[in-house]
Amino acid sequence: MLLPDDIDCASRSLLFASMPEDLRTTLMERSVVRNHPRGASLFLQGEPAHHVYVVLWGWVKLFRIAHGGTEAIVGVFTRGQSFAEAVAFRDDVYPVNGEAVTDCRLLQLRAGIVLEMMKYRPEIGTAILSATFQHLHELVGQVEQLKAQTGAQRVAEFLLQLCRVEAGSCTVTLPYDKVLIAGRLGIKPESLSRAFVRLGDAGVTIRQNHAMIADIARLRDFVEQDRAEFWRKAQ
């Protein structure tokens, strides 16, 4: 059963945000909400992609297993974020595995319902394209991070993405598994610990699975610093 907070959260997701209110309401009424324990498998790589998801609370990871058996993190998603739109609406298979990183609550929408409604509500297609484009934009941003940012900057930007306000101070909740964050950002776990220490100079305090940001603008300035400046300061 969808709670008022669930509806508010899902309405801000990429999947629903650009839809007309009546259409959004109809699709949510035809969705199901499921609670998953930590470690639960949502879907496996190669399975038919029948559903799209919105995280209502908790954390979910998408990953692939390489030939050597190592786990490659493709993405991590938390409250208000949607995933699996592109493959589900193409009647494709999931190219990754999905797993609950923490206890989580997910809105699950069957792709067939959306495709059927699209026949007489074409604006659904616009919403899907918008969500897919935004996911692609984020992927390009991840590549740029790997090429142009230090590990500390990547962590800082990750924290900013979790902020629910645009200015002032903020406290965000991190996944319990810090290895997950490191994998998502393309750094080693020990480098993540050093990055958290480095972010202390930018007003970030880490306590267990919470990051307290003293000033969002200050942290954003840290992210936008040129890499060369870091080298000059280190000399």
Tell me the per-residue pLDDT of 209-222, one tens digit each, with 9 for 90 and over: 899 999 999 999 99
Cβ partners under 8 Å of residue 223, min gap 6: 149, 153, 156, 157, 160
Residue 188 has pLDDT above 50, yes or no: yes
Residue 235 has pLDDT above 50, yes or no: no
Q: Which residue has the tokens 């790589």?
A: 45
pLDDT at 173 over 70: yes
What pLDDT does 164 receive? 83
Query: pLDDT tier at 228 (50, 70, 90 boundaries)?
Result: very low
Instruction: Classify 148 as helix, strand or coil.
Output: helix
Has residue 103 got a pLDDT over 60?
Answer: yes
Rounded to an integer, the average pLDDT of 98-102 is 93
% of the chain with per-residue pLDDT over 70: 88
Question: What is Dmax (Cα atoms) for the chain?
Answer: 63
Segment among 57-66, 83-92, 131-140, 226-235 with least mean pLDDT = 226-235
Q: How many CB atoms lie within 10 A of CB 170?
A: 19
207 φ/ψ angles, rounded to the nearest 5 degrees: -135, 110
Average pLDDT over every residue of 102-119: 88
Q: What is the pLDDT of residue 229?
A: 57
Give CA–CA dist 12/16, Å, rounded. Answer: 7
Q: If residue 41 lies in a helix (H) or strand (E), which one and from where to where?
A: strand 41-43
List, in order of start, the domains of the chain with CATH numbers.
4-138 (2.60.120.10), 149-234 (1.10.10.10)
pLDDT tens-digit series, residues 29-79: 999 999 999 999 999 999 998 999 999 999 999 998 877 777 888 888 988
- What's the pLDDT at 133? 65
Q: Which tokens go with 219?
A: 């942290």
Write out the two tokens for 103: 């206890």
- Do residues 175 and 209 lie in contact, with contact meaning Cβ atoms separated by under 8 Å? yes
User: Residue 205 is encoded by which pair of tokens?
Assistant: 């305090």
- Helix, strand, or coil (residue 225): coil
